[in-house]
Structures are given as C-alpha cells and as structure tokens.
C-alpha cells in the first residue's frame, strides 16, 4: 500500500522501462516521419523536409555510435520543423532540427548533487556534434541509449 492507502502497483518501474521500445536503425522511424508528412499535407500545415532529413540523419549517426537507442517521440511543430523528444521523469532531451543543419536544444537534467533540483539548457542552437557533447555533459545519454550506465533506466 502507498501512503494514501492506494494499492501498490504489481509491476516494477525498472521492468517497465526495460520494455521501452528500442531501435537499432533510424529506418525504423521512417513510418512515423512519413505519417507526419501526410498529416501536414492533409491539414495544410507547414512541413520542412530538410528538418525531417536532418532528424533522420542525426538518428542514423546515433545508431552508428550506440547500436541501440530508446525510441524518441517525434513531433511536427508549428514552424514545420521536426522535434525529437526523449523523456523520463523530470529529465528530458528535446531536439528541434533547423533547416540550416543546426539543432535547438531543450534539456532538463537532475543536478548531480541534488535529488530535487533540475538543471536546464533551453533554446541554444548548436551543431549536431555539440548537441551530443551537451547531452553527455549533462549526464542525459541514458535517456537516449541503454548502452550508457545509469541505473535509473536499465
């Protein structure tokens, strides 16, 4: 029982996270990217083919680096760009792919010395290489790949 007398869930969060869909190739997300294009066409929404291509290339590079990724949520945002999002609890990595090849970052990470404080990095426009470095520097790689040693996701 929990403190409000609700029944304790019979599953473990750890086991649930292990079941999160993993991908080994960016082509696994082609269907989602194509469906976003169809939705944009049908609803007369803005759609940046270049942004979608940059997102797919970024995912391909990640797959080459890590072999296995957690599947990101993929969104078409109001300006037509593609956004990838990995989220777990209060931590997240959000990447908007801009037409010029840059990535706009939105990241929230637990501070290493605090269980409750969150460190943020919002709105910075960076190269794909710097985005990967920033994700690693903020200790958020565990959101993207199970190949990183972090007990909260494995």
Residues 129-146 pLDDT 10s: 999 999 998 889 999 988
State the alpha helices, DSSP H only, in 1-154. 13-18, 30-42, 49-66, 128-137, 141-144
Is pLDDT of 65 > 60? yes
Is pLDDT of 118 > 90? no
Which is higher by pLDDT, 89 or 35? 35
Q: pTM above 0.85?
A: no
Tell me how far apart the alpha carbons of residues 137 and 8 are, in angstroms, rounded to a whole number: 36
């Amino acid at each position: 029982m929990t403190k409000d007398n609700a029944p304790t869930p019979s599953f473990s969060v750890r086991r649930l996270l292990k079941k999160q869909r993993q991908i080994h190739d960016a082509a696994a997300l082609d269907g989602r990217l194509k469906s976003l294009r169809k939705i944009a066409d049908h609803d007369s929404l803005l759609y940046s083919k270049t942004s979608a291509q940059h997102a797919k290339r970024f995912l391909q590079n990640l797959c080459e680096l890590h072999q296995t990724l957690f599947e990101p949520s993929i969104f078409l945002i109001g300006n037509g760009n593609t956004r990838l999002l990995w989220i777990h609890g209060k931590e997240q990595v959000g990447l908007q792919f801009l037409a010029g090849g840059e990535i706009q970052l939105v990241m929230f990470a637990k501070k290493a010395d605090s269980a409750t404080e969150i460190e943020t990095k919002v709105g910075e426009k960076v190269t794909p290489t710097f985005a990967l470095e920033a994700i690693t520097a903020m200790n958020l790689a565990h959101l993207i790949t199970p190949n990183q040693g972090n007990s909260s996701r494995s």
